[in-house]
Amino acid sequence: MIVKWLTDTRGAAIIDRIECTRETDRAVWYTVCDDFEAPEKEVKSPKVSRYVMFHDTWQEAHAYLREHAEVMCIVSGRELARDVLFAKGVDALKPPATEEKT
């Protein structure tokens, strides 16, 4: 069995231990069971996708999540600064000197 550590950046900070049956440079295969009566089936997953990533060690997975969190904080700070500037621009708007009749 090949042990990989899965991270998913869509929600809570979690690192899952996954026992893989095989791997290539780009993909891993592991078994899943959809319900109690169905037999296990082998599924293929890319090692790197938009949100999910498989790592060789728990330490690598943790470092990846830490870096991702830092980047998200930087991006959130920039977005907040942009939104604050927009709100200040809205507050600075003044009504026209004469109102038009409709």
Instruction: Kindly give the confidence (pLDDT) of every residue in the chain, 102 residues in length, as a single tens digit, with 9 standing for 90 and above.
Output: 899 999 999 988 899 999 999 999 999 999 998 777 778 899 999 999 999 999 999 999 999 999 999 999 999 999 999 999 999 999 999 989 886 666
Total structural domains within the chain: 1
Model-level pTM? 0.76
Is residue 98 assigned to a domain? no
Is residue 58 assigned to a domain? yes
Which structure tokens are listed for 22? Answer: 């095989």
Q: In whole angstroms, give the CA distance from residue 40 to residue 30.
A: 10
Is residue 100 assigned to a domain? no
Tell me which residue range forms the domain holding 40. 2-92
Is residue 102 assigned to a domain? no
How many Cβ atoms sit within 10 Å of the Cβ of residue 28? 19
